[in-house]
């Protein structure tokens, strides 16, 4: 008799626990939407950002892989054929009329052709491309380091961030209206060592190396997943394979100062600065929270 009672008590507790669990998650959704709680959650990024900058202060190099380690099929990030009509026209003419505009807080605004970019000192590397969604692909990247372009343009002292204006749509609902953009800070944009582009003796490259390439190609046979909208922090414009080239488009890079750049901002990129340089490749806002932090810190 006692046993039966005790079991029913357990059942009561279990039911209560399951009920509490069921109530807990909607409660978490409400928390997720509360501005104060969101600020609390996002403050974790201060720790993550600080810890990463501390550990990566020496700018250690990302691992380079052997040719045989490349993904057999390289998943392309973002779209490989943006719907934008200007882009399509550029693609039709083999990007002969395409210019990479570098403007904003620069001493010498640039408008570079593909030939200009190819003339810059470049190099190749086989590194891993990671998506914030969780997948990875290893490919070969060739091109000029972003730092080369930025040094040619010459940054003004007020420049803090680099904004990349892409040819991709922000998402399918904004076709032709809002184009994707991405931003990084100068720590990520520059390698601190001046001899950097020729440091090929070492087997490891900087973690964000691919990010700093203005032009790159993937040595693999790229297959497209046009619907994919995955994040990458790598702002890389492609040359090389025809498909990869499609990502170059009318993208620009903008140099901005603090406040220019919150990725979640609904303002179109052009409203934020009158300058731009541009590199291909779509990235996603989710991965850029670290830069939101930079912007905040800049404001403080």
Partner 1 sequence: MSGLQIFNAHPRLYWGQYGANADPALLEMGAVQDSQGRALGLTRVGPWTFHTTGVLGASKDAQGNWTERGFPRWATLPSEQDLATGRHWHFMFAWLIVTNSALYWLYGALSGHFRKDLWLDRRERHPRHILRDIWDHIRLRRPVGAAASRYNTLQKMAYLVVVFGLAPLMLLTGLTMSPGMDAACPFLLDLFGGRQSARTLHFVTANLIVLFVAVHLFEVLVSGPWNEVRSMITGWFVIPGDEP
Residues that bind partner 1 (CB under 8 A): 10, 13-14, 17, 22, 25-26, 28-29, 32, 38, 40-45, 47-48, 52, 55-56, 60-63, 65, 69, 71-75, 128, 130-138, 204, 206-208, 223, 225, 230, 285-286, 289
CB of 155 to partner 1, least distance (A): 24
Give whichever of 7 and 96 is closer to partner 1, judged by the CB atom. Answer: 7
Give whichever of 68 and 108 is closer to partner 1, judged by the CB atom. Answer: 68
CB of 11 to partner 1, least distance (A): 10
CB of 253 to partner 1, least distance (A): 22
CB of 273 to partner 1, least distance (A): 24
Q: Where are the beta strands (DSSP E) in the chain?
A: 61-63, 74-75, 100-104, 110-112, 123-130, 136-143, 161-169, 179-185, 204-206, 215-216, 222-223, 237-238, 252-256
Calculate the alpha carbon distances from 199 to 80, 161, 172, 209, 251 in Å. 31, 25, 41, 12, 29
How many Å apart are CA 231 and CA 100, to the nearest integer? Answer: 22
Give whichever of 172 and 223 is closer to partner 1, judged by the CB atom. Answer: 223
- Tell whether the torsion through CA atoms of 157, 208, 281 and 171 is positive or negative: negative
Closest CA to 191 of 281, 55, 57, 50: 57
CB of 217 to partner 1, least distance (A): 18
For residue 174, how many other CB atoms are within 10 A of its CB? 12
CB of 74 to partner 1, least distance (A): 8
How many Å apart are CA 264 and CA 255, to the nearest integer? Answer: 18
CB of 10 to partner 1, least distance (A): 6
Give whichever of 64 and 84 is closer to partner 1, judged by the CB atom. Answer: 64
Closest CA to 230 of 173, 287, 165: 287
- Mapped onto helix, strand or coil, the DSSP state of residue 237 is strand
CB of 263 to partner 1, least distance (A): 10
Beta bridge partners of 100: 112
Give whichever of 158 and 221 is closer to partner 1, judged by the CB atom. Answer: 221
Give whichever of 217 and 287 is closer to partner 1, judged by the CB atom. Answer: 287
Give whichever of 83 and 290 is closer to partner 1, judged by the CB atom. Answer: 290
How many Å apart are CA 189 and CA 110, to the nearest integer? Answer: 17
Contacts of 9 (CB under 8 A, 6+ apart): none
Q: Where are the beta strands (DSSP E) in 131-177?
A: 136-143, 161-169
Give whichever of 111 and 135 is closer to partner 1, judged by the CB atom. Answer: 135
Say how many Å lie between the first and final Cα of the chain, rounded.
68
């Amino acid at each position: 008799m006692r046993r039966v009672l005790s079991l029913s008590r357990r059942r009561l507790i279990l039911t209560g626990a399951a009920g509490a669990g069921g109530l807990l998650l909607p409660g978490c959704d409400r928390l997720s939407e509360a501005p104060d709680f969101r600020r609390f959650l996002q403050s974790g990024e201060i720790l993550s950002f600080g810890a990463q900058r501390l550990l990566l202060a020496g700018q250690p190099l990302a691992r380079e892989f052997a040719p045989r380690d490349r993904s057999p099929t390289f998943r392309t990030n973002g779209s490989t054929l943006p719907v934008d009509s200007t882009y399509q026209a550029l693609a039709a003419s083999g990007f002969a009329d395409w210019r990479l505009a570098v403007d904003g807080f620069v001493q010498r605004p640039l408008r570079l052709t593909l030939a200009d970019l190819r003339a810059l000192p470049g190099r190749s590397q086989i590194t891993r491309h990671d998506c914030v969604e969780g997948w990875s692909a290893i490919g070969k990247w060739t091109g000029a380091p972003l730092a080369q372009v930025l040094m040619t343009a010459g940054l003004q002292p007020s420049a803090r961030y680099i904004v990349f204006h892409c040819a991709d749509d922000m998402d399918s609902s904004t076709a032709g209206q809002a184009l994707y953009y991405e931003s990084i800070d100068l720590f990520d944009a520059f390698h601190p060592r001046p001899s950097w582009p020729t440091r090929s003796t070492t087997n490891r490259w900087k973690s964000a190396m691919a990010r700093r390439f203005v032009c790159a190609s993937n040595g693999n046979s790229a297959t497209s997943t046009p619907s994919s909208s995955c994040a990458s922090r790598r702002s890389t414009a492609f040359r090389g394979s025809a498909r990869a080239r499609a990502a170059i488009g009318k993208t620009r890079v903008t140099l901005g100062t603090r406040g220019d750049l919150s990725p979640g901002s609904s303002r179109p990129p052009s409203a934020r600065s009158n300058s731009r340089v541009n590199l291909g490749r779509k990235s996603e806002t989710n991965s850029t929270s670290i830069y939101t932090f930079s912007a905040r810190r800049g404001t403080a």
